[in-house]
Amino acid sequence: MTDRPQIVGTWGARSAAELLGVFRGPGAAAADVIEVRIDLPDDGPAHVRELVAASPKPVLATCRRRAEGGRFAAGERDRIDVLLRAGDAGAAWIDVEDDVTDRDVERIAGTGAKLLRSRHVATLPDDAESTAEQLVSMPGDAAKFVALHGGADDALRMLTILRDVSRGGVGRLCGHVVDVPFTRPASAVVGAPFVYAALQPGGRIGLAMPTVLGLRRRARWDRLRPGRPIFLLLGARVEGSVGPDMLNAAFEATGPSVVALTWSLDDPAPAIEAIRRFRWAGAAVTIPHKERVLASLRACGARAAIDADADAVGAVNTIVRAGETLAGHNTDLGGLADALALHADTGAASGRAFLVLGAGGAARAAVTLASRLGARPIVFARRPEAAAALGAVTVATAHDAAATRPAIVVDATPAGPPGGTPCFDPGLLPERAVVLDMLVYARPTAMLASAARAGHVVVPGLAMLVAQAARQVVLLGGAPPDVRGMRAVGERALRRRDAPIVLVGLRCSGKSTVGERLAAVLGRTFHDTDREIEHLTGQSVEAMLRAGEEPRFRALEDQVLRAALDVPGAVVACGGGAALHAEAFAALAAFGTVVLLDAPDGVLLARRAVSPRAALTTLSPAEELAGQRDARMSVYRAAARLEVDVASLDAQTVADRVAAWWDADAAAD
């Protein structure tokens, strides 16, 4: 074993040739060990020696039975023979399940490979602790214990088992709960020798997992060591948050020596216990756990402390461990004040109305700030009883809210992402105001876009997120961070998260088919401009074109291209004529990442023959295609960051290649 955990890269290839191609990718280069799943490719057993020899990193050979989620359908004798051949071919490690006979274990060990004794269970059994001890006591060099399903309590239990078995430093037991992605990087700080990740996005083994490059980049792999304190980001769905990116940049620049990781959970109690048990640094707390964390800390009595801001707001958004005490803070209040102060003289708000939209925990922070500024807090929310509980004046209608003539408006609702509808029309305001929306997106939210059109001063939610995160760094003992630098990191991360991947190309290049598969691999939404037009009109694109309605179709195409800008985190498949809309396409290309799919004319014409398309001219299909290539491809090539020749590739292979490029591009960003 080594003195630090290692990343095991894995990939569910459909063929040996496909896996050999993945070996040449950046994910394989970044892995420490490569798991070769011999059972998954149809021809895997026939190419064992070739695969082991071709791997750029030491091989961990696995051949999983069907009953355990694998694809090996032959008998146990044949399976053991495959593993023996892998060992003889030079595999560094072989995955050997805990029920393999002692005789076969001896034979496999005789090849010179190290043995990873493994057990996979649906859920953690009652005797999970003793099961783990049995695994590490078996003949072998390391062990793997995986639960497919479970929640936050199971994650805490798994991490505790790993820590107890490792007894400090890198131990002999690795493991995770598949349903809880956080357990993968977190296992590295409690002693796991291996952490599994996908060589390319998707993984292709039916399990959600980070990529090797993503684990190194987002989880700051080079800083994850046994005993390293973690600063958690807790929320219902926080994997897409840019908070950890900004915090980790600040930690690396000014300290403290901690790593920020996301943990999505329904109940924060197991995370609070994990902070105590593993002596982690603390946590940033977001929706919907801020009030529950305050109640949990208050219930701890002398083992917890609540600061004045958290007490005033009635919510904790930051936990800091100091010895045996957990201190609850609220940096939303100060972060909101800092963000507003960057754009306006908040002192001038004294005596003026301060309009708060919403009635949740975030709204409570805004009401508290309004009172501290000497302003008159006014609350407009769809739940009157919740609004009244904030202790401020409430209004029943948007017109009543506007009539208060607020100096500052804070939108603390989840409504109105980019392209959506704001919960309040800032155009109703009779005077110029400062408008802040707490939602965090790369493009202006519906509220901010409307406010800007109405001539108001707009403050994006990222400004508040950066300011409150900077305060968290200081609470953890770090020096005041470079706020501009944190914001730059946040802006890059937001753009990476929200900007669309735009597929372009001529007709029949496979944009829609590839787009659906690419979206599935990357966990993004899929947005097809032709389908959007069909949804708007109730008529197929082909029917419109065959009816001679191309001008109408092109007008709608321009409309949906513009709308695609405001579909956060989408894969957008454009119609073949997207290049005809110079302004709309230029805006989409400038914000998103353009990928060009192309093939020789003969291939595209053959596809068109199989799936006939409406003619756009009186020319022959070949002449029409040649004209489109001349008119459009220079636009597409000028915008594209990646071009893929799809002539000999199926849609899934194209999607996988684009996803692998996207993963590598993110790592280099």
Residues with catalytic annotation?
Answer: 290
Q: Where are the alpha helices (H) located in 476-595, listed in sequence order?
A: 483-498, 511-522, 529-537, 541-546, 550-563, 582-591
CB of 409 within 8 A of CB of 458? no
Cα separation, 597 vs 31, in Å, equals 29
CB of 281 within 8 A of CB of 257? no
CB of 508 within 8 A of CB of 613? yes
The residue type at 610: V
Cα separation, 592 vs 16, in Å, equals 34
C-alpha distance from residue 160 to each of 155, 190, 210, 319 (Å): 9, 8, 22, 21
Question: What would the two tokens of residue 374 be?
Answer: 């000497």
Question: What would the two tokens of residue 60 be?
Answer: 């961990």
- Chain centroid to Cα 63, Å, comes to 30
How many C-beta atoms lie closer than 10 Å to residue 131's C-beta? 16
Q: At what angle do helices 582-591 and 550-563 cross, to 10 degrees?
A: 30
Cα separation, 289 vs 295, in Å, equals 10
Residue 353: closest CA among 403, 308, 396, 412: 403
For residue 418, say if its preceding peptide bond is cis, omega within 30 degrees of 0: no
Question: What would the two tokens of residue 195 be?
Answer: 């952490």
